Amino acid sequence: MRSWLHDCLARRPWWMNALMAFCFYMATLYMPWDFFLKPIDRDAEAWFGFLLRGWGAKATEPLHWAIYAAGAYGFWRMRGWMWPWAALYAAQVALGMVVWGIVYKGGAVGWLSGLAGAVVPAMVAVGIWNTRARFGVKRATMRQRYGEWALVTGASAGIGAEFARALAREGMSCVLTARRDDRLRLLADELEKQYGVATRVVAADLEQSAGVEHLVEALRDIDLAVFINNAGFGYSGRFDKQDPKRLRAMIEVNCVAPVVLAGHLLPRLRQRGCGAMIISGSIAGRQPLPYHALYSATKVFDLHVGEALWAEMRGTGVDILVLEPGPTESEFRDVAGEIREVGEPAANVVQLSLDALGRQPSVISGWFNWARATFARLVPRTVLILMAEKFVLQQTPEEMR
Ligand SMILES: NC(=O)c1ccc[n+]([C@@H]2O[C@H](COP(=O)([O-])OP(=O)(O)OC[C@H]3O[C@@H](n4cnc5c(N)ncnc54)[C@H](OP(=O)(O)O)[C@@H]3O)[C@@H](O)[C@H]2O)c1
């Protein structure tokens, strides 16, 4: 915990950490109180040095709230978009202090108190400008960070195929595995021609323990650096209408195979002193999902295992990340037997996880999915489950309800 906090705080100077803590306090405590609880007749907001009172103040509070929330997030992640507007905003506060002194106090006292009040925000504006190079720092390529070879399970479609493309683009040679080896060969050909990397195709059925063993054997002579533990599928419908054999297969592919493979491969990564594993979880694992009951259970399993391993592997040179996508463009919905809905491009989800790797235990793609997951933590369990049921039913075909 201490070393994690140390790593997080080391990304910015002390005064910026203080600014981030201030933004966090304002976004989570002060502004909610200000907006929801402060009586209108006591409400006041300052914009560009001019005071708004009563309803004028109340109406503009959400904007202040959004600014502090964006500030807390932007400083935390050191996003590239953060520094220009944060510097500008601090400069505006400095100017506002001078205006406030002149308008509301007047005379030499007003000028002097305004200028005195402007010193700190002006220093913050200059400080952010001077440290702008620390924001949006581009990371090294996956090959530079970890080594040459990556294993991608579930590489014949969707998110897995995009993982293989992204890793090859960053110079990594790929072992591609799934059951449909014709698809894998096509992808291997594409990666070799387009990115000049080496590939190896291993057809394996991860539902069978023989398939998992076959894959482990096929990796013996490779110095594996990155393991994308991604293969998985869903199965939509009311539990008593579902085929128990398929439910069992889901546990094998989504839970047993990832753990057994990690059991074989993580010791090798740890021995190298450098490596990474990404597990494809899902925001489906953030709450129980009626009519997708077992799938959401397999994904909370993946989330807990992955996040726990992140802590165990800290300091060994092995980075672990659980990727939690929301609805994503792939073959997932057809395989699960769900009604189709628009999803995020798989390439976006993959890029997000490669950027987050080594920084945090898990990452949720998209702010809307993040809001859904946060909401799931806050509402009472019964309400959450019943809301989830309503939502999933819309995607469940009539005959499986
Ligand atoms: N798409 C989404 O909306 C979404 C959202 C959240 C999480 N996820 C997770 O993301 C991961 C990838 O899903 P996707 O969206 O890319 O779905 P997809 O397009 O259906 O791809 C699934 C991959 O898993 C492989 N696979 C399935 N059963 C297998 C088995 N028995 N043995 C070996 N490989 C098997 C498939 O290959 P073969 O059929 O060729 O074997 C395929 O390559 C899954 O873990 C899924 O739970 C997806």
Q: What is the pLDDT of residues 88-120, one digit of tens each?
A: 999 999 999 999 999 988 888 989 999 999 999
Q: What is the pLDDT of residues 62-75, one digit of tens each?
A: 999 999 999 999 99
Helix (H, G, I), strand (E, B) or coil at 389: helix
127 and 214 in a single domain? The answer is no
Question: Is 341:333 a contact under the CB 8 Å cutoff?
Answer: yes
Residue 282 covered by a domain:
yes
139 lies in some domain: no
Specify the range with the lowest mean pLDDT, choosing from 31-35, 74-78, 103-107, 118-122. Answer: 103-107
Tokens 């807390």, residue located: 72
Q: Which of 93, 111, 134 is the last residue of a domain?
A: 134
pLDDT above 70 (res 31): yes
Same domain? For 168 and 104 the reply is no
pLDDT band at 3 (very low <50, low <70, confident <90, very high): low
Residues 181 and 303 in one domain: yes
Confirm whether 325 is domain-assigned.
yes
With a 6 Å cutoff on the Cβ, whether 158 touches ligand 1 is: yes
Is 266 in the same domain as 319? yes
332 lines ligand 1 (CB under 6 A): yes
CATH number at residue 265: 3.40.50.720
179, 65: one domain: no
The per-residue pLDDT for 16 is 92
- Both 33 and 62 in one domain: the answer is yes
Which atom of ligand 1 lies at the shortest distance from residue 211's CA?
32
249 and 372 assigned to the same domain: yes
* C-alpha dist (Å) from residue 233 to 98, 247, 299, 337: 61, 10, 10, 10
For 34, 58, 99, 100, 333, the CA distances from 53, given in Å and listed in that order, are: 13, 8, 17, 14, 52
* 193 among known catalytic residues: no
Instruction: Determine if ligand 1 sits within 6 Å of the CB of residue 178.
Output: yes
Beta bridge partners of 174: 150, 199
Can you tell me the distance from the alpha carbon of 322 to that of 58, in angstroms, rounded to the nearest whole number?
40
What pTM was estimated for this model as a whole?
A: 0.80
Give residue 165's domain range: 145-400
What DSSP string describes 238-254? -GGGS-HHHHHHHHIII
- Based on the fold, state whether residues 64 and 193 are members of the same structural domain: no
Is residue 299 located within the same domain as residue 242? yes
Q: Which of 93, 109, 134 is the endpoint of a domain? A: 134
- Establish if 140 belongs to a structural domain: no
Residue 285 counted as domain residue: yes
Q: Give me ligand 1 centre to Cα 154, in Å.
A: 5
Please tell me the total count of domains within the chain. 2
Q: In this structure, are 126 and 194 located in the same domain?
A: no
Task: Please report, rounded to a whole number, the percentage of residues in the chain having pLDDT higher than 90.
Answer: 84
Ligand 1 center from residue 351 Cα (angstroms): 17
Whether 327 is in the pocket of ligand 1, judged by its Cβ within 6 Å, is yes
Q: Do 53 and 180 reside in the same domain of the chain?
A: no
Let me know whether 128 and 151 are in one domain: no
pLDDT tens profile 215-251: 999 999 999 999 999 999 999 999 999 999 999 999 9
Classify residue 316: in a domain, yes or no.
Answer: yes
338 domain-assigned: yes
CA of 109 to the centre of ligand 1 (A): 69
How far, in Å, is the centroid of ligand 1 from the Cα of 185? 17
Average pLDDT score over residue span 122-142? 88
> Is the CB of residue 337 below 6 angstroms from any atom belonging to ligand 1?
no
Of 134, 157, 192, which residue sits at a domain end?
Answer: 134
Q: Is residue 33 part of a domain?
A: yes
